[in-house]
Structure 1
């Protein structure tokens, strides 16, 4: 696990000494990603400079140093991530005559490129990776990223120079970088709580999409990324060639795939452990780890004293049953709040998923004991775990038949009365309603339902469900919404079921741009490598072949994954309502964080900065403080942008 950066401009005529100073300054910003070693490689004649920071995981010797040159002297690489099947590839390459001086996966990558070429080699890799590969023979630079987007890679052209880096802070260290805020990307951020690929918060700087390679020779017009693997093609193939075996055979095949995915990700020359929340996904990963380990696996959990946010008790029970070496930390509000000032530098661009705070804290805890930690991310998208897959589908089945006029009339009725009046009215007889149905009767919920009634099709309803600010263009001064995977129908997968379409859209948007960003920055912020077995591309491809009936059953998701887990853990330790990895932002904004938030949301300040329209922000802030509405997600979006802006 590392940090990579560099630049390429064959017409720049910059001296080798100048290039070295620049690339070292860029790579030094990534020392948290690679505290063990650093290096650079420069060809001033060609205008190429590569920088690297190393977190040594496999082959801790100097032989794993990067940038690394291939044995045939053709390729030079800087690489961030892990190629989990490198031992298998190494054996195959040895049979073909290759010799290796190290035990690193980086050297295996280079030999693979030499043997099979870029396109064929990258399809053989099972791993998470972002790399820059300089081809000295063809005089081209290749930038590549793994299939699902586990590892980040930013790039852009400035004055005919191609820049790239694992994080934006390295690009900002380039002398001619222009930190011009992209108001259109800011508009998207306020809708989704993250800046979706391929955009970044800065003009002319992009994220390389997952499963893509970008190639540039420094002469021709700027290149576009080319896909070598896509979720869309995988989904289409899975539907066209479905799994036709029995349920027992499906369980056995998934278990075998997961066992191997976990086994490959347990290869390390440093201490290794796992995050454990006690939920389906992380418990499955830990169970398979422990089943294949001769020693107790080190597991880590974060707990909160507020029961509504606390899963640590469940994780402890799972750990006790499996016999892991478990460590838990109960976090005080003060410890969680202390993370907030670190978020702007940690993420480099606005990012407002508040679960990034506990993710950072559990990473910080794990780093005290291990250098690699496995996590259970990806299970919700692949095996239908999110609640919206059930009630989103149910709602559309109930309202989709309604003529537009009837729905419009219903919206008028529901919005005529304010949410506050509805909340007050329902409070009078809430004790007559069974507890599990009370949330359905809140005025806020009915108001949200009225918004859903107004949508024209299921995809628009999905977009509404995953949106925070529903009209962000009215909030950002001079901003408009750019095309995304949600708005561009050409990027949608042709899938027969609405739930499958939601799962697909989550896998190409929310997963890489929110979940994986959160895990990467939180873990690498403390120099911890995170590995995600459920995102092994073989598991992903199998999951799309499995019929929806083996994922959702009796109103519950992850049926197939649960069957694997029940072989290792009793059902009663797992079955409970789904909890998110959340913190009480709503109450903090009315209490401990109120003064901090008031400063950032000050109307005069907002007007002077000139990015956001103060009126809707101040209105929501007032309603939230009074307890009339819960606007925590909307306000947190604005606060994270304001905090980021203050630090940039």
Structure 2
């Protein structure tokens, strides 16, 4: 895992200036790569490639980046891992590749010509030289953000992995084109003064993250998952008039999608698997292969274990393949409603892992909050970012690489909305519009606490029932079909343009139904949309920034694209059975872990944020939400914000997530001034 950055200047710039700028940008990414760093500068064109290295494979200098190809034509910086690089290397050997030029010849035994080391970077570069970038991307299994400079064609190529595990920002600012793994490196570019994008800010308040391809800054974008961008010198001076969406062919800029989840979902649904036993067996073998590949490292390796289905499945398969106990990590809280450590502990004991559990106090958890604006670089309001950072910090004391269970929900139907939305809509859709809206008002007229009390009395086994009842009611407000309901459920501020002054609604995938794949079941549509938006924008961003803040590499076996493609060949009835999601994973997991250790209501990875805002965080929040302050800053309308704050303090409504979004923007704004 590493950090990459680079600049492509509009006009000729001295080498000394370029070196100084590159050094400033690299220093902002040291946490992503504390082990080594390098720069490569083309004197004639005015381009610089920058790299910071966290050594995982080939710890020797032969893995140093930037790396130059054997012919001298290509220069590469790369963040991520190519898990099948040894297989690719064998193919290249059969075709007679030559070694890259950069780096000293190795002194250790066992490294043979034509390779100078055993890093995946060297393999990736040789593959680009032999097969071209697009074919190399198709053959690669891994997570990556790549910058490749073609010295012959004078073209800069940027590429991002299929599902968006590794981040890559790019854009235009005063003096040239810039790109980097994190925004903090771009802000080190001299004269960076790109203003806050108010439209992106409104989208952030809706979704609690800034969705691709936007960033919080005007003129700076995120390369979408599965996309590649090619830029020539002409493109450095030709700024696009609108946010770049694939496909785009503008003067000096080509943007296209090299891998499409849209095509994968339609192909999978067109050729579904019919034999459930065979499908589950194939999934287990595919997951085993993914875990074997992702367990290759020259540094200590472990796994996160929350006690849920996803992480438990990964750990169970890891342990079944391992000759020694797998290192596992979990985090516990004093509040029992948010503490899954007891479940993780039981599963770790049953599997025989080397388990480490960290129990944190509210004070320790609250101490993390001031660090969040620096870590996440742009406003980010998934409050599980706090326990995620804490468990990453804990794991990094023992290992350098940790496997996670991310994406199990999106692939196999794990979120509550997949289980309940269709059934609820079926029961309510027949109601005349006025009756349905009256039901919404009735639900919202009862406080969260009253719904929780009623649920306990009726013995309804749903965690945080009151919160979920209110969320559902708000989701039903003003909707006309099930897809509208989904859009409402994933929206926190339903009308963010009334909150952000001078903002317009950005056009996201959720609003363009004509761009969705043809999927009969609404659950599958929701799973596709989550995988395209929520997964890269929230889940993978959250884990990447938290892990990289402490120089920890995380890997997600479910995101091997062959696992993804197999999952989409499974009919919905194989994924959700009897109102229970992730059925194929449960079938696998029950072979290793007793069912009673797993079967419980889905909890999530959260914190008691609602009570913290009314208690220990109240003064901090009051300062950031001060009406005069909001007016002076000029970004947010204080009227709806103050109303939400009063409702939350008075326990009439639980506004924790909407308020957290505002607070994280305010804290980010304060940190950058």
Per the normalisation by structure 2, the TM-score is: 0.92
- Of 584, 589, 594, 1:565 maps to 589
Does residue 1:239 correspond to 2:254, yes or no? Answer: no
Does residue 1:228 correspond to 2:228, yes or no? Answer: no
Instruction: Tell me by how many angstroms 1:641 deviates.
Output: 0.5
Does residue 1:339 correspond to 2:368, yes or no? Answer: yes
Does residue 1:262 correspond to 2:264, yes or no? Answer: no
2:418 is paired with a residue of what secondary structure?
Answer: helix
User: Corresponding residue for 1:407?
Assistant: 433
Structure 1 unaligned blocks of 5 or more: none
Instruction: Tell me by how many angstroms 1:158 deviates.
Output: 2.4
User: Corresponding residue for 1:615?
Assistant: 639
Structure 1 residues 444 and 288 mapped into 2: Cα distance closer, same or farther (>3 Å)?
closer
Distance in 2 (CA, whole Å) between partners of 1:577 and 1:451 is 21
Does residue 1:7 correspond to 2:7, yes or no? Answer: yes
Does residue 1:641 correspond to 2:665, yes or no? Answer: yes
Number of equivalences: 641
Does residue 1:488 correspond to 2:512, yes or no? Answer: yes
Q: Is the 8 A contact 1:410 1:450 kept in 2?
A: no
Distance in 1 (CA, whole Å) between partners of 2:260 and 2:643 is 42
Instruction: Tell me by how many angstroms 1:96 deviates.
Output: 1.0
Structure 1 residues 264 and 614 mapped into 2: Cα distance closer, same or farther (>3 Å)?
same
- Of 314, 317, 335, 1:285 maps to 314
User: Corresponding residue for 2:382?
Assistant: 353
Does residue 1:433 correspond to 2:458, yes or no? Answer: yes
Distance in 2 (CA, whole Å) between partners of 1:167 and 1:212 is 18
- Of 127, 130, 133, 1:112 maps to 127
Q: Is the 8 A contact 1:444 1:629 kept in 2?
A: no
Q: Is the 8 A contact 1:154 1:205 kept in 2?
A: yes
Distance in 2 (CA, whole Å) between partners of 1:491 and 1:423 is 37
Does residue 1:92 correspond to 2:81, yes or no? Answer: no
Does residue 1:218 correspond to 2:242, yes or no? Answer: no
2:32 is paired with a residue of what secondary structure?
Answer: coil
User: Corresponding residue for 2:180?
Assistant: 165
User: Corresponding residue for 1:29?
Assistant: 28
Q: Is the 8 A contact 2:329 2:356 kept in 1?
A: yes
Does residue 1:513 correspond to 2:537, yes or no? Answer: yes
Instruction: Tell me by how many angstroms 1:464 deviates.
Output: 0.4
Q: Is the 8 A contact 1:419 1:443 kept in 2?
A: no
**Aligned 1:283-432 pairs, distance under 5 A:** 283-402=312-431, 406-412=432-438, 414-415=440-441, 419-420=444-445
2:34 is paired with a residue of what secondary structure?
Answer: coil
Q: Is the 8 A contact 1:27 1:51 kept in 2?
A: yes
Distance in 2 (CA, whole Å) between partners of 1:537 and 1:431 is 42
Q: Is the 8 A contact 1:408 1:454 kept in 2?
A: no
What is the RMSD computed on CA atoms of the aligned residues? 1.9
- Of 533, 539, 553, 1:529 maps to 553
Distance in 2 (CA, whole Å) between partners of 1:427 and 1:167 is 41
Q: Is the 8 A contact 1:181 1:202 kept in 2?
A: yes
Q: Is the 8 A contact 1:132 1:143 kept in 2?
A: yes
Structure 1 residues 601 and 256 mapped into 2: Cα distance closer, same or farther (>3 Å)?
same
Structure 1 residues 253 and 448 mapped into 2: Cα distance closer, same or farther (>3 Å)?
closer
Instruction: Tell me by how many angstroms 1:395 deviates.
Output: 1.6
Q: Is the 8 A contact 2:143 2:165 kept in 1?
A: yes
| Cα distance per residue 1:518-559 (max 9 Å; x no partner) | 000000000000000000000000000001111000100011
Distance in 1 (CA, whole Å) between partners of 2:528 and 2:454 is 41
Distance in 2 (CA, whole Å) between partners of 1:437 and 1:294 is 39
Structure 1 residues 642 and 549 mapped into 2: Cα distance closer, same or farther (>3 Å)?
same
1:300 is paired with a residue of what secondary structure?
Answer: strand
User: Corresponding residue for 1:156?
Assistant: 171
Distance in 2 (CA, whole Å) between partners of 1:229 and 1:427 is 45
Instruction: Tell me by how many angstroms 1:19 deviates.
Output: 0.5
User: Corresponding residue for 2:282?
Assistant: 253
Distance in 1 (CA, whole Å) between partners of 2:467 and 2:219 is 43
Distance in 2 (CA, whole Å) between partners of 1:603 and 1:55 is 44
Q: Is the 8 A contact 1:6 1:165 kept in 2?
A: yes
**Aligned 1:170-181 pairs, distance under 5 A:** 170-181=185-196
Distance in 2 (CA, whole Å) between partners of 1:85 and 1:45 is 36
| Cα distance per residue 1:248-292 (max 9 Å; x no partner) | 111110010000000000000000000000111101111111111
Q: Is the 8 A contact 2:451 2:469 kept in 1?
A: no
Q: Is the 8 A contact 1:408 1:453 kept in 2?
A: no
Structure 1 residues 293 and 443 mapped into 2: Cα distance closer, same or farther (>3 Å)?
closer
2:233 is paired with a residue of what secondary structure?
Answer: coil
| Cα distance per residue 1:331-385 (max 9 Å; x no partner) | 1001110110000000000000000000000000000000000000000000000
Q: Is the 8 A contact 2:452 2:464 kept in 1?
A: no
Distance in 2 (CA, whole Å) between partners of 1:39 and 1:51 is 6
Structure 1 residues 44 and 452 mapped into 2: Cα distance closer, same or farther (>3 Å)?
same
| Cα distance per residue 1:226-260 (max 9 Å; x no partner) | 1010111110110111123x221111100100000
2:568 is paired with a residue of what secondary structure?
Answer: helix
